[in-house]
Amino acid sequence: MAQTWETLMGYPTADKGLAGRAMEEAVRIIREDLPVFTNHFPSSNSFDGFYKATENVEWTTGFWTGVLWLAYEYTGDAAFQAAAQVQVDSFYDRIRDQIDVNHHDMGFLFSLSCVAGYKLTGNPKAREAALKAADHLAGRYREKGEFLQAWGNTGDASEYRLIIDCLLNLPLLYWASETTGDRHYAKIAGNHIRTAMKCILREDDSTYHTYFIDMETGEPSFGVTHQGNRNGSAWARGQAWGIYGIALSYHYLKDPSYIPLFERVTDFFLSHLPEDLIPYWDFDFDTGSKEPRDSSAAAIAVCGMLEMAKYLDEEGAKRYTGAAGRLLYALIKHCGNRDRTRSNGLLLHGTYARDSRENTCRDRGVDECNTWGDYFYMEALTRSLGDWNMYW
């Protein structure tokens, strides 16, 4: 169904009471997860509702450390801080020893673990690790085309592309500029978002997941999906990365041209939500489809709208906080886990990847929890309960 502002505003909104109860339930589950997930990390997605224990690998481990920091901030309980600290040490080792870091996801990994740890406790080791990660990410910047190469070896012609997800890695670079005084990090981050928005935003305000750049000329070449249903479709999580990514760059750069970009990407997302407001994994699917949902996309979008609302005029702020409250209510009601015998995750009904004819994915984490869904759900609850000094 096509949602309009009028239909959206007809849904119930999450008030502080509901968000507070959801937060209490989440914290109870996190506390029970602590014994296993202190020296180990949860796998990227759950399996039949339960995360397995893994080493500090893949792009997803920082989300759990971020969950621990949020639980620490909410409760003040030193047990959460101590567990997060163990994990910061693990991230220090990971970047020092260059373990599974040949990609751009340094922001997802290090903003939520080490930048958060530095901001909350002043730990110099956390700052050092985050700065090493920022340097590593900056090393993926390609002058020809002015973008951060997402995957593969830098300069590899078959991997000369950017992806929309990278917008969430940029805050690590903005933070590095702030903490060191070296403007280079912020400059390349600003160049990246300019290049990215030039290629990935389509005329109908949907987005490409990935976009190849011509290695010789530096000009945008063509867009393809990696995790969406079709090259020309809107992968729900990709659209959500766009929403929050633009808001985060606005927070740091205050470039007024980002406001209409944010509105276009967000309004597409909101107007394509199905009847219960939990997006299908790709906007090719709508109310009544048997395809799975991706609750994490809604959680990411809520955080993006609540961040951007801080910088909009009164009417704009009201629209997007209103929409965020409605999505958060739907997430709490339909996807918030309240039963640890069913799952050790926080947000049910996510989809990591879904096989389709035009993408290269196998089904993975379909109708499961995933660590980023859990993190953004916790961040959304935190934001809706009061002012929050973000880790990004």
Buried b (16+ CB within 10 A) or exposed e, 17-39: ebbeebbebbbebbeebeeebbe
What letter does residue 38 receive in the DSSP assignment? Answer: T
Site for ligand GLY in 220-239 (CB under 6 A): 227, 237
Tokens read off for 277: 């407001």
One character per residue 237-276, x = contact with ligand GLY (rule: CB under 6 A): x---------------------------------------
Tokens read off for 238: 């990709």
Cβ 281 to ligand GLY shortest distance, Å: 10
Cβ 171 to ligand GLY shortest distance, Å: 15
Report the alpha-carbon distance of residue 72 to residue 137 in Å, rounded.
28
Q: Which is nearer to ligand GLY, 336 or 365 (CB)?
A: 365
CB 166 within 8 A of CB 196: yes
Cβ 99 to ligand GLY shortest distance, Å: 18
Q: Which of 33, 77, 156, 165 is catalytic?
A: 165
374 binds ligand GLY (CB under 6 A): no
Q: Which is nearer to ligand GLY, 44 or 266 (CB)?
A: 44
Where helices occur in the chain by DSSP H, the ranges are 5-9, 16-33, 61-75, 78-96, 106-110, 116-121, 124-138, 170-180, 184-200, 236-253, 258-271, 295-308, 314-335, 371-385
Q: Which is nearer to ligand GLY, 46 or 227 (CB)?
A: 227
One character per residue 154-193, x = contact with ligand GLY (rule: CB under 6 A): -----------x----------------------------
Q: Which is nearer to ligand GLY, 131 or 236 (CB)?
A: 236
Number of residues counted as binding ligand GLY (CB under 6 A): 3
Q: Which of 93, 97, 105, 313 is catalytic?
A: 105
Site for ligand GLY in 59-78 (CB under 6 A): none
267 given a catalytic annotation: no
**For strand 53-54 and strand 41-42, is the pairing parallel, antiparallel, or unpaired?**
antiparallel
Q: Which is nearer to ligand GLY, 165 or 374 (CB)?
A: 165
**Residue 245 amino acid letter:** G
Cβ-count burial of 98 within 10 angstroms (0-12 exposed, 13-18 middle, 19+ buried)?
exposed
105 given a catalytic annotation: yes
Report the alpha-carbon distance of residue 387 to residue 384 in Å, rounded.
8
Which of the residues are catalytic? 105, 165
List residues near ligand GLY by CB under 6 A: 165, 227, 237
